[in-house]
Amino acid sequence: MLDSQRILELAQQNNGIVTAAMVTDAGISRGVLKYLTDNRKLEKASRGVYTLPEAWDDEFVNLQNRFKKGIYSLETALFLCDLTDRTPGRFQMVFPASYNLSGPKREGVLCRGSKEPLYSLGVTELITPGGNTVRAYCAERSLCDVLKPRNHTDIQIVTDAVKRYVSSKDKNIPLLSEYAHMLRVEERIQAYLEMLL
């Protein structure tokens, strides 16, 4: 099978998206990506990310492929967890404390650094509206994060998210309480839960 055909099959198996890293891992020269782009078999979505012409451009995937250490957080994570209907105006991500944030900031990402163990706390894989998988904070971690005063999250978004979470069959109140303790928002979470449970 031709390398170009293998790349197109990789893209089809991955919801129309293929990355330069995937091509390298498959043992194929990255030059084939340029050939496919020049012949309009693939479109360059962003640096290192290519899509089939008919594929929906998934900004969540593009951004995370460009900034691999980024984890979707706050309102962006709430959206991915289906705890809010508000599509994020700007993506919000958390990076390791030592990460240089100038690149994501240039791209309009609202970002901050975080030290371990908090950086890795509650990381999960969620499905984007385009059907692709990205790394984001889970519902419990995201609810705790939006309750922190320094994050300036709209009270209506917080209230709606907590209501949706409480009525969800997937809720995990013990985990929410554990994260609230670790992130120092126990009293705030407790107030919402007493009101809604």
Q: Read off the pLDDT of residues 108-125 as tens digits, 9 standing for 90 and up.
A: 999 999 999 999 999 999
- Please tell me whether residues 14 and 46 are part of one structural domain: yes
CA dist 35 → 20, 26, 42, 109, 149 (Å): 13, 17, 9, 31, 50
Which residues form the domain of 72? 61-196
Angle formed by the axes of helices 155-167 and 186-196, nearest 10°: 60
Last residue of a domain, one of 57, 76, 97: 57
Predicted confidence band at 1 (pLDDT cuts at 50, 70, 90)?
low
* Percent of the chain clearing pLDDT 90 (strictly above): 68
Tally of domains within the chain: 2
pLDDT of residue 127: 95
- Please tell me whether residues 68 and 104 are part of one structural domain: yes
- Please tell me whether residues 92 and 27 are part of one structural domain: no
- Please tell me whether residues 75 and 165 are part of one structural domain: yes
Write a three-state SS string for 94-162: EEECCCCCHHHHHCCCEEEEECCCCCCCCEEEEECCCCCEEEEECHHHHHHHHCCHHHCCCHHHHHHHH
Total residue count of the chain as it appears in this document: 197
Q: 129: cis peptide before it, omega within 30°?
A: no
- Please tell me whether residues 149 and 65 are part of one structural domain: yes
Compute the distance between CA of residue 11 and CA of residue 109 in angstroms, rounded to an integer. Answer: 26
- Please tell me whether residues 52 and 149 are part of one structural domain: no
pLDDT of residue 196: 76
CATH classification at residue 14? 1.10.10.10
Q: How high is the mean pLDDT of the chain?
A: 92
Among 5, 158, 167, smallest CA distance to 74 is for: 158
- Reported as a single tens digit per residue, the pLDDT across 13-64 is 888 888 898 999 999 999 999 999 999 999 988 888 898 888 777 889 889 9
Which H or E run contains 168? none
CB-CB contact of 92 with 111 (8 Å)? yes
- Please tell me whether residues 50 and 115 are part of one structural domain: no
- Please tell me whether residues 99 and 117 are part of one structural domain: yes
Q: Is the dihedral of CA 99, 102, 106, 109 positive or negative?
A: positive
CB-CB contact of 46 with 33 (8 Å)? no
pTM for this prediction: 0.82
- Please tell me whether residues 192 and 128 are part of one structural domain: yes
* Percent of the chain clearing pLDDT 70 (strictly above): 99
Contacts for 187 with CB less than 8 Å, ≥ 6 apart: none
For residues 126-155, average pLDDT:
93
